[in-house]
Amino acid sequence: MSRSIIAILRGVTPGEVDAIAHQILGAGIDMIEVPLNSPDPIESIAILAKSIGDQALVGAGTVLDVAQVDAVKAVGGRLIVSPNCDAAVIAHSAALGLESWPGVFTPTEAFAAIKAGATGLKLFPGDLAGPAGLKAMRAVLPKDCPVYAVGGAGPENFATWAAAGASGFGIGSAIYKPGMGAADVRSRADTIVAAYDEAMT
User: How far is Cα of residue 126 from the mean position of the Cα atoms in its chain?
Assistant: 13
Cβ neighbour number for residue 95 with a 10 Å cutoff: 12
* Residue among 104, 105, 53 at smallest CA distance from 79: 53
The pLDDT value given to residue 201: 81
Spell out the per-residue pLDDT of the chain, length 201, in tens: 679 999 999 999 999 999 999 999 999 999 999 999 999 999 999 999 999 999 999 999 999 999 999 999 999 999 999 999 999 999 999 999 999 999 999 999 999 999 999 999 999 999 999 999 999 999 999 999 999 999 999 999 999 999 999 999 999 999 999 999 999 999 999 999 999 999 998
Q: CB under 8 Å, gap of 24 or more: what pairs does 67-74 form?
A: 68/36, 69/93, 69/96, 69/98, 70/96, 71/42, 72/42, 72/45, 72/98, 73/98
Its domain, for residue 10, covers 5-200
Give the model confidence (pLDDT) of 116-146 as tens digits. 999 999 999 999 999 999 999 999 999 999 9
pLDDT of residue 2: 76
Q: Note if 122 is an active site residue.
A: yes
Q: Mean pLDDT, the chain, as a whole number?
A: 97
Domain count, the chain: 1
Residues of the chain with pLDDT > 70: what percent? Answer: 100
Q: Give the CATH number for residue 189.
A: 3.20.20.70
Number of neighbours of residue 39 by Cβ within 10 angstroms = 14
Q: Which of 122, 135, 156, 198 is catalytic?
A: 122
Q: Is the pTM of this model over 0.85?
A: yes
How high is the pLDDT of residue 153? 95
pLDDT of residue 1: 63
